[in-house]
Structure 1
Amino acid sequence: MEPILELNSPRLLMRQWRDDDLPAFAHMCADPQVMRYFPHPLTRLESAKLIGRVRGHFAEYGFGLWALERKDTREFIGFTGLCMVGFNAAFTPAVEIGWRLAKEHWGLGYASEAAWTVMGCGFEHLELEQIVSFTALSNLPSQKVMQAIGMHTDSVDDFDHPNLPEDHPLRPHVLYRINRKQWLATL
């Protein structure tokens, strides 16, 4: 499949990663507030490796986590996209929608706007039957985005993230889903 290089929403450009995104991305991923629902903030090297994995995902699958840029300022503000779930669970194999934004861009509706656009790409262009999203039970801000884009949860789908130690406070996760029919009903 030819990679999907770019998506547009009214205020945002979802594009391929550039080398000059690294400083802003590393700064965002080193921020303890941004990373509070992840095991730990990332070092600059870990952030660079993540960009490399994202580029590899695009090369393999034709889609991935797009760099997120504001159209008005041309500023890199985070990422939004689709990726194959990288661990085994009751709901895998699956395609996950995810996002991460720098904190100065929170509360402006960018995460929902970008996620809605990406979900449309997943169902219309990639012809996916279902998209999932998951997060720590305590991550209410991300759950609000999941709900805003029409995703649903059922407590029977809650799971312990297999890549976190048993006693880790972020291990309990909630799973949200949306299928093509549900998405079409929101249009």
Structure 2
Amino acid sequence: MIEIFTPRLLLRGWHDGDLAPMAEINADPRVMRGIDDGSVHDLDQTAEAIERWEEEWDEEGFGLFAVELLASGELIGFTGLSVPEFLPEVMPAVAISWRLGSQFWGQGYASEAAHATLEFALQDRGVDRVISIHQVGDDASENVIRKLGMVPQLETTHPVYGYPLRVHAIDLTEFQA
């Protein structure tokens, strides 16, 4: 499994010990409010999600990294790449996303992890364009997206839940490592 080190973080594969801390993150209504229907996820749902994330690595050659604080070894969430099949109008595409525990918000971790992931996609995996999809009104995510140099491409509606989405994109020629 690939590991990426940043000044403060380790992006790595999933370990057995990650289930409980990730389930705690997924059980926080503040974290989950902009994801799908906003419902929190329990331990079993988190285990199923981690299994799907690991399968995507096998199928696509990329996926979601567990994000660990280097200083403490603590799991703080995930960042990574996925194929956004739920939104047909952007396909084919590779999307970057992240989810961190709320106690880790506002410290630059999402930007740091996302930048390393974007560099991995464009330089190591040969992806020539990466998108990001977020719920309109999620200003924190939009700030991270803009720090990555991504620009707005499309406004649409979530096909299942009906809320407005904004799609940003960046391609290899625009990326500043």
TM-score range, shorter chain: over 0.9
Does residue 33 of the first structure (1) align with residue 30 of the second (2)?
Answer: yes
Write out per-residue CA displacement over residues 126-179 of structure 1, whole angstroms, 9 at most, x where no aligned residue.
Answer: 11110000111021110110001111104xx11111132x4xxxx210001001
How far did 1:88 drift?
Answer: 4.0
Does residue 20 of the first structure (1) align with residue 12 of the second (2)?
Answer: no
> What SS does the aligned partner of 1:182 have?
coil
> What SS does the aligned partner of 2:25 have?
helix
> What SS does the aligned partner of 1:145 have?
helix
Write out per-residue CA displacement over residues 75-129 of structure 1, whole angstroms, 9 at most, x where no aligned residue.
Answer: 0000000111122422211000000000111111000001000100111111111
Q: C-alpha separation between the residues in 2 aligned to 1:10 and 1:88?
A: 34
Count of equivalent residues = 175
Q: C-alpha separation between the residues in 1 aligned to 2:82 and 2:42?
A: 22
Q: C-alpha separation between the residues in 2 aligned to 1:28 and 1:151?
A: 26
Q: C-alpha separation between the residues in 2 aligned to 1:49 and 1:90?
A: 27
Q: C-alpha separation between the residues in 1 aligned to 2:116 and 2:87?
A: 27
> What SS does the aligned partner of 2:159 have?
coil
How far did 1:52 drift?
Answer: 0.6
Structure 1 gap ranges (5+):
none
Please show how residues 65-144 of structure 1 align to structure 2 within 5 Å: 65-144=64-143
Please show how residues 106-185 of structure 1 align to structure 2 within 5 Å: 106-154=105-153, 157-164=154-161, 166=162, 171-183=163-175
- Structure 1 segments, 4+ long, off by >6 Å, are none
The normalised TM-score by structure 1 is: 0.90
> What SS does the aligned partner of 1:42 have?
coil
The normalised TM-score by structure 2 is: 0.95
Partner amino acid, structure 2, of 1:178: I
Q: C-alpha separation between the residues in 2 aligned to 1:6 and 1:160?
A: 35
Q: Percent identity?
A: 34
Which residue in the other structure is 2:50 paired with?
51
Q: C-alpha separation between the residues in 2 aligned to 1:25 and 1:96?
A: 21
Q: C-alpha separation between the residues in 2 aligned to 1:19 and 1:11?
A: 22
Say what the alpha-carbon RMSD is for the aligned residues. Answer: 1.1
